[in-house]
Amino acid sequence: MNSKTRETINSHLNKIISEFRFNNRKLKQPKECPCYEQNKPCHNVDGELNCFLCYCPEYDNSKSEGGCKINSQKGKWYFHDKLPKGKIWDCSDCDNPHREETIRKHLKKLFGVD
């Protein structure tokens, strides 16, 4: 890939990431998510919550009880007798998919830029 192509893709990645910042999205697309209308981010993140990866690409959905492909220390098992496997992976305290460096990493991989 030549440097001009890389530069163009990186510039578009920056636009995508900035477009999906919570504070930007709630102003431009207030009906897109109930959290925008209520001005209540669904996760606490160091810095600004970013909504691009609403669903985490690291969630292991190959198992019915779920799991984390990167073993994030912020995820945890939730145990309950009525669950089919007695437990399910709980991401509610993890901010990984909402941090901009995570989004940039996945988009760069997708577009083949380093």
Which stretches of the chain bind ligand SF4, using CB under 6 A?
56, 58-59, 68, 70, 72, 74-75, 91, 94, 96-97
- Residue 68 C-beta: closest distance to ligand SF4, Å: 3
In whole angstroms, what is the distance from residue 22 CA to residue 53 CA?
12
Residue closer to ligand SF4 (CB basis): 40 or 74: 74
- Residue 21 C-beta: closest distance to ligand SF4, Å: 18
- Residue 101 C-beta: closest distance to ligand SF4, Å: 13
- Residue 52 C-beta: closest distance to ligand SF4, Å: 14
Residue closer to ligand SF4 (CB basis): 36 or 75: 75
Residue closer to ligand SF4 (CB basis): 13 or 88: 88
Residue closer to ligand SF4 (CB basis): 8 or 79: 79
Phi, psi of 103, deg, nearest 5: -60, -45
For 41, left (φ over 0), alpha (ψ -120 to 50), or beta? Answer: beta
Contacts of 56 (CB under 8 A, 6+ apart): 91, 94, 96, 97
Matching residue, tokens 């988009």? 107
> Nearest to ligand SF4 by Cβ — which residue?
75
SS3 per-residue string spanning 7-25: HHHHHHHHHHHHHCEHHHH
